[in-house]
Amino acid sequence: MKKIVILISGRGSNLQALLEAHLSCSIAAVISNRADAEGLGIAKALGIPTAAVDNRNYADRESFDAALAKSIDAFVPDIVALAGFMRILSPGFVARYHGRLVNIHPSLLPAYGGLNTHARALHDGVKIHGCTVHFVTPDLDHGPIIIQAAVPVLCDDTEQTLAARVLNEEHRIYPQAISWLCQDRIKLSDEGRVIFLYRIQSGFTLVSPSLE
């Protein structure tokens, strides 16, 4: 059975979704860059090992990443999942876990990488927004895409209502992506594209607003 280490920085809603999904793999540990992250308490309550590696205790990103990698490697994971982990990782760290490091991002990448994705989508007037699970590469929020979910942007949406709709989809697609990884149902090609094994993809169209 494959082992996962989950990295968090805060309340851990995507962590909670992964825990509730009853994945066909073992969650070896939950690690945070903040000792007061709420998600650590969720993991501890379930008997999952936890650790905190505070980035504020390190002089630069590389030294923090080295300490974080040491903590991760102690659990010998097959997959490292970022679930609301709010640190930009160094190229060396990303290379160390190539093909094993995944992230959930609240936009339809490659659109709206970085922060404030929902506000930017509303500002631009897009009609479809969503979330993406992708492999992590040194190019921030631009790694090979595993799965996406799209939601309509409604005319009366606020940043909060749109964020809630997207978050609901995050909680659906992240467990699915991790499940595929645990079952070796996807792989990265030499060209950096995600290849699906043993799966037929549908070809329906999503339109928003809907056609009359």
- The verdict on residue 61 lying in a domain is yes
- The verdict on residue 52 lying in a domain is yes
Measured distance CA(5)–CA(79) in Å, rounded: 6
| Helix axes 13-20 and 38-45, enclosed angle (nearest 10) | 20
At 206 the pLDDT is 85
| 154 Cβ neighbours under 8 A, 6+ residues apart | 161, 162
- The parent domain of residue 24 ranges over 3-196
At 100 the pLDDT is 96
- The verdict on residue 202 lying in a domain is no
| Tens place of pLDDT per residue across the chain (212 aa) | 999 999 999 988 999 999 999 899 999 999 999 999 999 999 999 999 999 999 999 999 999 999 999 999 999 999 999 999 999 999 999 999 999 999 999 999 999 999 999 999 999 999 999 999 999 999 999 999 999 999 999 999 999 999 999 999 999 999 999 999 999 999 899 899 999 997 777 888 888 988 98
Measured distance CA(57)–CA(74) in Å, rounded: 20
| 59 Cβ neighbours under 8 A, 6+ residues apart | none
Structure letter (DSSP) for residue 195:
E
At 194 the pLDDT is 96
Q: What's the predicted TM-score (pTM) here?
A: 0.96
Q: H helices of 86-190, where?
A: 91-96, 117-124, 159-182
Number of domains in the chain: 1
Measured distance CA(205)–CA(57) in Å, rounded: 49
Among residues 22, 98, 105, 171, which one is catalytic? Answer: 105
At 44 the pLDDT is 96
Is residue 22 among the annotated active site residues? no
Question: Coil, strand, or helix at residue 28?
Answer: strand
In the structure encoding, which two tokens stand for residue 102, read together? Answer: 């995944």
- The verdict on residue 201 lying in a domain is no
At 205 the pLDDT is 86
Measured distance CA(136)–CA(90) in Å, rounded: 11
- The verdict on residue 133 lying in a domain is yes
- The verdict on residue 129 lying in a domain is yes
- The verdict on residue 204 lying in a domain is no
CATH code, domain with 86: 3.40.50.170
Measured distance CA(9)–CA(142) in Å, rounded: 21
- The verdict on residue 158 lying in a domain is yes
Contact 104, 146 (CB under 8 A): no
